[in-house]
Amino acid sequence: MARGWVVAAAIIIAGAVCVWPVSAQAPAPAAPGGLPVAPVGKSPAKHSKYSVPRTPWGDPDLEGVWSSDEEAGVPFERPSGQAKAAVDGSELEELLEQREQQRANTAPTVGGATGAGPTHWYENWGRKSARTSLVVDPVDGRVPPLTADAEKRQQGRVGGGGSFGKGPFDKPGDFSLYDRCITRGLPSVMFPAIYNNNTRIVQAPGYVALTYEMIHETRVIPLDGRPFVAHGLRGYLGDARAHWEGDTLVIETQSFSDKTNYRGAGATLQLVERFRRVSGKGLRYEVTVHDPHTFSRPWTAALNLGPGVDLFEYGCHEGNYAMRNMLSAARAAEKAQVPAAKK
Amino acid sequence: MNGIWQSVGTANWNLEDHSASATAFWQLGAIGAIPAGQSVVEGGTIPYLPAALKQRDANRAGWPKSDPEAKCYMPGIPRATYMPFPFQIVQGQKDILFVYEYASSNRIVHMQNHSEAPVDSWMGWSNGTWEGDTLVITVNGFNDSTWFDRAGNHHSDGLTVVERYTMQGDNVLQYEATMTDPKTFSRPWKIRMPLYRRLEPNVQLLEFKCVEFSEELLYGDLKKK
């Protein structure tokens, strides 16, 4: 099963694709939910004359299966010592070689002796994105600092790290929501892992539906301006409402369950996601993360999505042998420590 | 057919005729009892081959732990249709998406590029076509692990299901599903029931991510004592 670490530690071989420049800071415009959306760069529409096709009822047509595979290997945050948002030429070749090497070195030993599977399992090996981080705002490509309150909460957390952490492994609740096959979470599900990086978009009048291959979750999001559900109704994927801003689909999500934890943010997390078709074969995705209880300011990450292939059913929970294996291994390890005289 | 739909009745308890009866869970009082229901099977009973009938009885004897629903496993087709949860139909330009509230199940119905199932799955592989105003979906590529209801009715991985959805007015969908599985049944058999549009203003699917409710059942024996 894919692990979140891959997002941070992946390598790509030489090559150059699109470069998305980061604009200078400007006052943030507000989304209709009242949440500011940080500007993240020149609109590609300025560089091309692409005209977004329409559905029969006149909405921009984003239908299709879209993959984040091409951005695999780009670190979530820009490494220190790297000043540019994107590189090219020989600098790019060097960067991609470094990433590939690092990924190949790390894979065999992730999680101790178990490792993370042979590299030929990875669907997104050898990708060529020239970006140096998926975070695009702040301009340094790094997530802003946590608030003092959030720091305290992080320190108070016992365990964590899921199946690749140090335990305890006493019960299913000691594992991550991902290990337990409950959810891949938002916005994590959009970011590339070693496989299942496909998102299907289906549109009908008044709705847009997103199906995420990783754990087959689907959100059917109304476009009719109805209010959010009351905060008493919470979910692992929260509650979402969408609207169009020109050709851009804007999805606002709130009411996350307090059992979720996105980089320290739980029930107070709010997301503003934007999807815009930039060509026959590409979508631009941006997510702005808001949580004044957790992050010192909102921040934005972005992905260039390309054409994907039809989704396979990912029967994560149905096939979750790992959970039984991990729990029984932990119980066996405990038993092995019992002195022989007591057995 | 866009919108949110739900079946009414007790098909998910038992596709065949059933009187009210108790379960083992007397602690729930009448809440833990099974309501009565009339058969949704054309002809009344499911035509099992003898060995498969024995398997059904074994499934019943192991209930609820033997029931994939208790384990929060994806319910397959047709069971997803008549679970006691709503589902939503999203008619895209190319394909039609069915989103089921139970266990975040869903399936895409390929309306244009019909191909064979690349691999077996819980929800099967759906190819759809229009016959006049009826949506006809042929589902193949099932694994053998889903049931038709809580009464142990089952199938093999050779199952093919042909569904027919026909609007009757604006707010009712007439639903039929024909099951063909020569390894399990002596002939094809059919179920039929109406599906009703959920009419509440602002109704939406909510989450029933039931994995956490099934973990004690599945892993309780492996928890630290």
Which amino acid appears at position B128 of this protein?
G
**The predicted structure's pLDDT at residue A112:** 59
Per CB-CB distance under 8 Å, the chain A contacts of B224 are 168, 170-171, 330-331, 334
Question: Does any CB of chain B come closer than 8 Å to the CB of residue A312?
Answer: yes
**The predicted structure's pLDDT at residue A339:** 52
How many Å lie between the alpha carbon of A185 and the closest alpha carbon of chain B?
12
Least confident of A1-5, A297-301, B185-189: A1-5
- Which residue out of A228, A313, A327 would a mutagenesis test of the B interface target, given it has the greatest number of B Cβ atoms within 10 Å? A313
Closest residue on chain A to B107 (Cα): A313
How many Å lie between the alpha carbon of B19 and the closest alpha carbon of chain A?
32
Nearest to B90 among A171, A207, A236 (CB): A207
Identify whether B93 is part of a domain.
yes
Q: What is the DSSP string of A177-236?
A: TTTTTS---TTGGGS--SS--EEEEEEETTEEEEEETTTTEEEEEE-S-PPPPPTTS-BT
Check CB contact under 8 Å for A315 and B224. Answer: no
pLDDT in tens, A263-308: 999 999 999 999 999 998 999 999 999 999 999 999 999 999 999 9
Q: Is the pLDDT of residue B28 over 60?
A: yes
Closest residue on chain B to A257 (Cα): B207
**The predicted structure's pLDDT at residue B185:** 98
**The predicted structure's pLDDT at residue B27:** 97
**The predicted structure's pLDDT at residue A30:** 46
**The predicted structure's pLDDT at residue A163:** 78
How many Å lie between the alpha carbon of A171 and the closest alpha carbon of chain B?
5
Band (pLDDT 50/70/90 cuts) for residue A258 is very high
Identify whether B28 is part of a domain.
no
Three-class secondary structure assignment of A109-158: HCCCCCCCCCHHHCCCCCCCCCECCCEEECCCCCCCCECHHHHHHHHHCC
Nearest to B104 among A216, A229, A311 (CB): A216
% of chain B exceeding 90 in pLDDT: 99
**The predicted structure's pLDDT at residue A280:** 87
pLDDT in tens, B32-82: 999 999 999 999 999 999 999 999 999 999 999 999 999 999 999 999 999
Count helices and strands (H / E) in chain A. Answer: 4, 10
Mean pLDDT in residue range A311-322: 95
A149 or A23, which is more confident: A149
pTM: 0.89
Identify whether B170 is part of a domain.
yes
Question: Does any CB of chain B come closer than 8 Å to the CB of residue A233?
Answer: yes
Mean pLDDT in residue range B205-213: 97
Note whether A208 and A221 are within 8 A (CB). Answer: yes
Which amino acid appears at position A321 of this protein?
Y
Least confident of A42-56, A213-227, B60-74: A42-56
B37 or A197, which is more confident: B37
Identify whether B222 is part of a domain.
no
Count helices and strands (H / E) in chain B. Answer: 2, 9
Note whether B180 and B160 are within 8 A (CB). Answer: yes
Least confident of A22-31, B76-85, B93-102, B214-223: A22-31
Mean pLDDT in residue range A186-192: 94
Closest residue on chain B to A310 (Cα): B108
**The predicted structure's pLDDT at residue B9:** 96
Reported ipTM:
0.95
Nearest to B211 among A181, A200, A311 (CB): A181
Mean pLDDT in residue range A222-236: 94
Q: Where is B126: in which H helix or E strand?
A: strand B125-131
**The predicted structure's pLDDT at residue A35:** 59
Note whether B150 and B63 are within 8 A (CB). Answer: yes
**The predicted structure's pLDDT at residue A150:** 94
A229 exposure class (CB count in 10 Å sphere: 0-12, 13-18, 19+)? middle
Q: Is the pLDDT of residue A127 over 60?
A: yes
| Structural domain span for residue B171 | 3-16+38-195
- Which residue out of A202, A229, A236, A259 would a mutagenesis test of the B interface target, given it has the greatest number of B Cβ atoms within 10 Å? A202
**The predicted structure's pLDDT at residue A15:** 36
Check CB contact under 8 Å for A237 and B205. Answer: no
Mean pLDDT in residue range A314-337: 94
Residue B86, C-beta contacts closer than 8 angstroms, at least 6 positions apart: B4, B5, B6, B101, B198, B203, B205
B64 or A15, which is more confident: B64
Domains held by chain B: number? 1
**The predicted structure's pLDDT at residue A16:** 37
Mean pLDDT in residue range B16-28: 97
Q: Is the pLDDT of residue B187 over 80?
A: yes
**The predicted structure's pLDDT at residue A60:** 97
Q: What is the DSSP string of A244-256?
A: EETTEEEEEEE-B
Cβ-Cβ contacts under 8 Å between A and B: the total is 111
pLDDT in tens, B105-135: 999 999 998 999 999 999 999 999 999 999 9
Closest residue on chain A to B4 (Cα): A220
B102 or A6, which is more confident: B102
Q: Give the residue carrying structure tokens 């969408």.
A: A242
> What residue ranges in A37-108 does DSSP mark as E strands?
64-67
User: Omega of the bond prior to A168 within 30 degrees of 0, cis?
Assistant: yes
Check CB contact under 8 Å for B90 and A202. Answer: yes
Band (pLDDT 50/70/90 cuts) for residue A108 is low
Q: Please, what is the average pLDDT of chain A?
A: 83
Sketch the domain layout of chain A as residue ranges: 61-76+133-337
Among B67, B101, B72, B81, which Cα is nearest to B8's? Answer: B81
Among A73, A80, A79, A76, which Cα is nearest to A130's? Answer: A73
Nearest to A237 among B2, B97, B207 (CB): B207
Q: Is the pLDDT of residue A11 over 60?
A: no
Residues in A 50-109 with any Cβ partner in B closer than 8 A: 55-56, 61, 63
Q: What is the CATH number of the domain that holds B89?
A: 2.40.128
Mean pLDDT in residue range A209-215: 95
Mean pLDDT in residue range A118-129: 74
Note whether A29 and A272 are within 8 A (CB). Answer: no
Least confident of A189-193, B16-20, B104-108, B218-222: A189-193
Mean pLDDT in residue range B162-176: 98
Least confident of A125-129, A251-255, B13-17: A125-129
Band (pLDDT 50/70/90 cuts) for residue A187 is very high
